[in-house]
Amino acid sequence: MKPVKVGLLGLGTVGTGVVRIVEGHQEDLASQVGSPIVIEKVLVQNKSKARNVSMDQDKLTEDPWDIIRHPDIDVIVEVMGGIGLTKEYILEALSLGKHVVTANKDLMALHGPEILAKAQENRCDVMYEASVAGGIPIIRTLVEGFSSDRINKIMGIVNGTTNFILTKMSQEGASYLDVLKEAQELGYAEADPTSDVEGLDAARKMTILATIGFRANVALEDVSVQGISSVSKEDILYAKRLGYEVKLLGIAERQDDLISISVQPTMVKQTHPIASVNGVFNAVYVYGEAVGETMFYGAGAGELPTATSIVSDLVAVVKNLKLGVNGMQGSLAYKEKKLKTDEQISSKYFLLLKVADRAGVLARITQVFADFEVSLESVLQQPTPSNPEVEIIVITHDANKAAMKKVLASFESLDVVHEVKSVYRVEG
């Protein structure tokens, strides 16, 4: 049996995991695809560096073109990260008829349509399961498992760092800055955590999921993004008291072919299954018209979970290769993108207001909601000892985003409202 030869771009944490799985599971892989899968060449930054996995020195190269233009390599596996040069390498590989497996969420979120178009033009496969939610097979599920259904909502915890931080704040009553420091010490958060904590990483993943789920080319700029850096211990305490957990959720919704995508701290009812997803774990909730509610849960990162998704994609490419059907999946994004306006985006909201402690204040606040036709589900007043302020907690019924913006703008000019401390979407 002629082996299928693979070129590996990158030998960091995930690349090492790919080598371990491919070399350690040869019998299982060969039984699935009908031939051995061999890692022919590996791109590294420094050939002489000590490694956590045993590699034949002759297979290592510091020149990416040794792999991309190698005549015997059938599949390129990209785990090096980055955007500019990586995009160039992948487009060149596709133009040479090589199939691509990548874990690069940034690249696929920003340049996915161009890369997939080049793949189709050259009858090549591009697989990117590992770009979202690590070891959870969510992309393949959306593409294949929901191929006969119509997805109306995708809601997910797709960033483990922020979920770890919010879980610790909820369970231990710790502050955001203290838990962020701990996350950095444990290696869950980068020295510069901006991409994670400001929601950018989750936004890129939701761009990919929404594109697949709604069959339309969603761009990163279509995602409304808010991170967790302003979430306080007080917010989480009030949420728990009211029966909610605070989670950074990516939410993509469709109604009558109009779509909206956001990433934001959200108060999730404790009875909803996604509220119990803790630590660095990820979960993606999908609602289909036919199947109803489903949820997918697992490790969102790490050497072996992510490598498992990559090798699963590799197996899919090789199976297609054996059947002669590479590049025949068709366009995943064949529908026109129609985004909802703020008037069409609707949800419940939680507000925490600091207001003057005097008669008539509550009436003036509720009148503002009434002026913009936002109805209220509940209103709680919390006195603050030895302070001339009180805290008012409001949970609305479903209200459109435009109306809520007008409510918040009115509060800025209302003398009795000293501060709009927190505003969160409410789910479940």
Residue ranges with strand state E in 112-228: 126-127, 151-157, 223-225
- Tens digits of residue pLDDT in 320-354: 999 899 988 766 788 999 999 999 999 999 999 99
Q: Which of 43-52, 186-195, 366-375, 382-391 has the lowest mean pLDDT?
A: 382-391
CA atoms within 13 A on the CB side of 238: 23
Q: List domains and CATH numbers for the chain.
A: 4-132+303-323 (3.40.50.720), 138-299 (3.30.360.10), 346-427 (3.30.70.260)
pTM value? 0.93
pLDDT for the residue 333: 83
pLDDT for the residue 268: 97
- Longest Cα separation, the chain: 85
H/E segment holding residue 174: none
Supply the mean pLDDT for the chain.
94
pLDDT of 396 above 70: yes
SS3 356: strand
**Mode of pairing for the β-strands spanning 60-61 and 37-43:** parallel
Residue ranges with strand state E in 203-345: 223-225, 244-255, 258-269, 281-288, 292-299
Catalytic annotation present for 49: no
Q: Name the catalytic one among 205, 247, 340, 401.
A: 205
pLDDT for the residue 183: 92
Instruction: Say which residue the tokens 């009875």 belong to.
Output: 271
pLDDT for the residue 331: 67
pLDDT of 385 above 70: no
Close Cβ partners of 163 (under 8 Å, ≥ 6 residues apart): 157, 247, 248, 277, 278, 279, 280, 281, 282
Q: How confident is the model at residue 166 (pLDDT cuts 50, 70, 90)?
A: very high
SS3 384: coil
